[in-house]
Chains A and B, each alone.
Chain A
Amino acid sequence: MFLLRLAAKNLCRYTRRTIITAVAIAVGIAMYLAVDSMLLGAAAESERNLRWYETASLRIHTATWWQERLFFPLGGAIEEPEAILALLHDEGYHAVKRTRFGAELLLGYEEFGEDGYIPVLITAIDTNDDTVYRYGTALEEGRFFQPGEMDGIVLGSWLAEDIGATIGSSLTVSTRGKGGFFEAFDVQVVGLVNCPNPNVNRTLVMMDLAAADQYLGMEGAVTNIDILVPERQDIEAVQRALASKIGAIDPSVVLLTWKDLAQDYLAIASSKQGGSALILFLIFIIAAVGISNTMLMAMYERGTEIAMMRAMGMEENRLQASFLVEAGLIGALGSVIGIALGVLANLYLVEVGIDLSFMLRDLDMGFRIPSVMHGAWSLSSFVIAAIGGTALSMLSAIIPVRRALKSPITTALVRL
């Protein structure tokens, strides 16, 4: 108790220095909380948008297709999707058939001012797609194609803008069918999609599944079946529960979670979390240097006082403890201020967010977030910041204190 009182009184001794050091720690902590909040918010929103617009919760492919997925092999399609769909329906899950295939969109001189082509990945969807995905509310312009409409396609709005396509623009799709034959067919843009997932806006080309089946000679086969798992359910648990039942119907298929399908995104998110840890480390280094310097000055200025206390028989570990408590109190003060600032910053980030539309359009950051980046609350980050700020302050004081205690009492006292 005495040590705590002494430490608290010493803090008031150099009020300005204490405040400056605490504020430096506070700013570091607030910055960490803000960056962490934005990354967490971006990760949560990205994961949601991945499931809502790209991968669904679970997806069924054949093992062959999954192994050769970089080539989108139509030969590795699911031949009997209806039996699996019936099972999923019986189990109470919404599921849809899709066929994804690689193609080239040929742009004609008359329509686009120059001849050219762009490689695309076309997703053929059936009319039930909205039970699993959320494109229904994302239509920016035009309409969706009708079931069986052979020449209607829907484009991501940014893709359309990039190639100069509008509603009514005519394009030619060049691809290869299931048997490897070449196929080309003319299509017309009937709708533009602008959803909160920038990757979709940048790359989406959709057409009707029945039309694709006919063009590609799929004969009812599809490349994947996508499943919606309600938010509250554990996707991995559902995967485990369904895998054996689906395997009994078609042993050639594999059931994958959205994490298996979005490994590229997860790798980016993980590296960004690593970046967050690096920011945290750098911020704490700055705080450590600040607190270390403060304690070093305190040791220097109070050298005689320390020697006097040692002369009177104060044990070195108690003396060290009193200075560590002092440093810890500065850290705690900094943490309290930092958390208060962090809460304010987080409130803004969660409620308002930061508008990144000026850069997200042209820069692919990997996150599947809309133009406004929102933060997210994380209690654990606040706890880490509070404990980290205080503990680090105490740790930073150890070296200066030990240095002071190494000096002979008689030297520090000069005279007894």
Chain B
Amino acid sequence: MVRLEQVSRIYQNGQSVVKALDGVSLSVSGGEFLSIAGPSGSGKTTMLNLIGCLDTFDEGELYINGRPIGGMTNKERTAFRRNNLGFIFQSYNLIPVLTAFENVSFPLQLLKMDEQRVKETTLRILAEVGLAGLEHRRPAELSGGQQQRVAIARALVKEPKIVLADEPTANLDSKTGEEILALMQTMNEQRGTTFIFSTHDAMVMEHARRLVMLHDGTVVSDERRGS
């Protein structure tokens, strides 16, 4: 599903050169619930950005669903993200002027789906994440946990094969964080969606069925566990 082959990402700032990722190879299969962990500056976010086709790499190759990403134009990457990837952001990044319903339906609007299908699909996913009845509330009228549920619903509404999440529980208290992780796990199991998320929270790492540890841009361990 996702394959990184000797991928390097180099940042140059004046004279200083930083290798955020240094020849990383990794293979992720469909339906995995994978956590990328490591200290600050280890390359977690860079790796997620690359898999999310939000950034370009300098060396190696990245394949998603068998498609090489390296040669894609900016426009092709945009279309690829729209059709194949879901994103969950640490700060939720919901559009404040839109209701929960409108925020969740946003990716479907981008796919130019007809209004009736948009409505049905959106209401169904909102019910699945436990937000039935809150469709018309704006983000400011929802709690942090509810906002992250909206974000999860938004990531899943178009039924992508892969959902990427950067520190999805970092802004939540531990109880709500547990609930969000449980929800992500349920979605992973019920829908078979691959979840790749970064964290440095030990509690979050415990939930992962596969834990990839990064340090200074290289993979230092890759551990598979039973759930």
A residues at B contact (CB < 8 Å)? 2, 6, 9-10, 12-13, 304-305, 308-316, 318, 408-410, 413, 415-416
* A181→B84 CA distance, assembly (Å): 103
Residues of chain A within 8 A of B95, CB atoms compared: 6, 305, 309
Residues of chain B within 8 A of A315, CB atoms compared: 75, 78-79
Closest to B87 in A: A311
B101 within 8 A of A: no
Q: Which B166-202 residues have C-beta < 8 A from chain A? A: 166-167, 198
Chain B nearest CB: distance from A172 CB in Å? Answer: 85
How many A-B contacts if CB must be within 8 Å? 74
B residues at A contact (CB < 8 Å)? 45, 48-49, 52, 54-55, 75, 78-83, 85, 87, 89-91, 93, 95-98, 106-107, 109-110, 164-167, 198
Residues of chain A within 8 A of B166, CB atoms compared: 415-416
Pick 25 A–B contacts, CB within 8 A, sort by A: A6-B95, A6-B97, A6-B98, A9-B98, A13-B96, A13-B97, A305-B95, A311-B87, A312-B81, A313-B80, A313-B81, A313-B82, A313-B85, A313-B107, A315-B75, A315-B79, A316-B78, A318-B110, A410-B49, A415-B90, A416-B49, A416-B89, A416-B165, A416-B166, A416-B198
A308 and B89 in contact, given A313-B78, A408-B55, A409-B54 (Cβ under 8 angstroms): yes
* A275→B97 CA distance, assembly (Å): 44
Residues of chain B within 8 A of A12, CB atoms compared: 97
Residues of chain B within 8 A of A13, CB atoms compared: 96-97
Closest to A11 in B: B97
Instruction: Determine whether the beta carbon of B52 is less than 8 Å from that of A416.
Output: yes
Chain B nearest CB: distance from A11 CB in Å? Answer: 9
Residues of chain A within 8 A of B87, CB atoms compared: 308, 311-312, 416
In order of increasing CB-CB distance, the 3 nearest A-B pairs are: A313-B82, A416-B166, A9-B97
A313 and B52 in contact, given A10-B97, A13-B97, A416-B45 (Cβ under 8 angstroms): no
* A305→B98 CA distance, assembly (Å): 12
Closest to A409 in B: B54
* A2→B114 CA distance, assembly (Å): 12
Add 11 more A-B contacts to A313-B83, A416-B166 (CB < 8 A): A304-B91, A308-B93, A312-B87, A313-B107, A314-B82, A315-B78, A410-B55, A413-B93, A416-B49, A416-B52, A416-B164
Residues of chain A within 8 A of B54, CB atoms compared: 311, 409-410, 413, 416
Residues of chain B within 8 A of A310, CB atoms compared: 78
Instruction: Determine whether the beta carbon of B45 is less than 8 Å from that of A415.
Output: yes
Residues of chain B within 8 A of A318, CB atoms compared: 110
* A409→B49 CA distance, assembly (Å): 9
* A9→B97 CA distance, assembly (Å): 6
A311 and B52 in contact, given A9-B97, A415-B89 (Cβ under 8 angstroms): yes
Instruction: Determine whether the beta carbon of A305 is less than 8 Å from that of B45.
Output: no
Residues of chain A within 8 A of B75, CB atoms compared: 315
Chain B nearest CB: distance from A389 CB in Å? Answer: 24
A313 and B110 in contact, given A12-B97, A305-B95, A415-B166 (Cβ under 8 angstroms): yes
Q: Which of A305, A313, A408, A410 contacts B93 (CB 8 A)?
A: A305
Residues of chain B within 8 A of A314, CB atoms compared: 78, 82, 110
Residues of chain A within 8 A of B49, CB atoms compared: 410, 416
Query: Which of A305, A311, A318: most chain B Cβ within 10 A?
Result: A311
A312 and B109 in contact, given A304-B93, A410-B49, A416-B54 (Cβ under 8 angstroms): no
* A413→B82 CA distance, assembly (Å): 17
Residues of chain B within 8 A of A413, CB atoms compared: 54, 89, 93
Closest to B167 in A: A415
Chain B nearest CB: distance from A413 CB in Å? Answer: 7
Closest to A10 in B: B97
Chain A nearest CB: distance from B195 CB in Å? Answer: 13
* A12→B98 CA distance, assembly (Å): 11
Residues of chain A within 8 A of B45, CB atoms compared: 415-416
Closest to B107 in A: A312
Residues of chain B within 8 A of A6, CB atoms compared: 95, 97-98
